[in-house]
Structure 1
């Protein structure tokens, strides 16, 4: 499995010690603001197990993110094939961080490492990012990565009930146009 390191962060395998902070993060209504619901401890544990299984199988996926200076687990970022029920295909990048990690540039730094890996190591021609139309903070990270949004790519997520979270936007970046560093 690949590990990625940036100036401040380590993107790594999931550890048993990540489960409690991961579950607490997913139980936080503000962290889950752009998702239909918070997750139970069992749901969080199951997601971490799925993420680690994909890392073991492919060598890449949704990595746990750790602050190098402190060893603190702060969330996840990475790359994953788009779900089959989506109206498009490809590989997406994404992130979710605990509230205490917001506002430090960690999401952009971690996602940039994942995108760089996708282009340089995996040879992907394009990487996508998807979020709700109302999640402006994630859209700002996408723009910092050099991603662009075509309004024609908007869609209603089939897995989300009618309401403000159903409408999604897609951002894209092609190899050679991503902001690296």
Structure 2
């Protein structure tokens, strides 16, 4: 899948080192439970690629169209955790810090939303993040998503500082305008 500046594609072996660096960056992982080591990062990319292989879609590697530099990950995912709004498909992203502030997350997420609504025929796509993650919430709003009910992430302990999450939703009807 192509956008004006980006390519959303299956994962490649050469994506693994920059993806591991992104996942080890404390600032990128600030709103996640912990940074990932290389083995955890590689396993995550492998799991996401397996989802793409099985379904034909998922959380894709993202690269710049001009030069092919790895930017991060953007795509659609059916979460394995059970949430108050399950079943669902989420749109998500994680970009290397050097690529923040350029509109890449919004650009790639719009392509993923179009795929979800126009190709997969989904009725709704959600996105969620920890309450303090204001940058991702801003992307959600730019995508036209509206804030739903906050919830506690079931995979995090009751006293974990990131347990409280915000939910954003986008219905196909609103997407099509």
Instruction: Identify whether the pair has TM-score above 0.5, normalized to the shorter chain.
Output: yes
Could you tell me which residue of structure 2 aligns to residue 56 of structure 1? 53
Alpha-carbon distance between aligned partners in 2 of 1:124 and 1:84, rounded to the nearest angstrom: 19
Q: 1:148 to 1:24 in 2, by over 3 A?
A: same
| Residues 8-157 of structure 1 aligned to structure 2 (within 5 Å) | 8-89=5-86, 90-150=88-148, 153-157=149-153
Q: Name the SS for the 1:134 alignment partner.
A: coil
Q: Determine the C-alpha separation between the residues in 1 that align with 2:79 and 2:50.
A: 17
TM-score of the two chains, using structure 2 as the length reference: 0.95
Q: 1:56-95: CA deviations, max 9, x gaps? A: 1100000000000120011001001132332221110000
Q: In the alignment, does 2:155 pair up with 1:169?
A: no
Q: What's the offset of the Cα at 1:32?
A: 0.1
Aligned partners of 2:136 and 2:17: how far apart in 1? 24
CA contact (8 A) 1:77 1:111 kept: yes
2:147–2:168 Cα contact (<8 Å) kept: yes
Q: Secondary structure at the match of 1:138?
A: helix
Shift of 1:179: 7.7
Equivalenced residue count is: 175
**3-state DSSP of counterpart to 2:160:** coil
1:158 partnered with 2:154? yes
Q: What's the CA shift for 1:163? A: 3.2
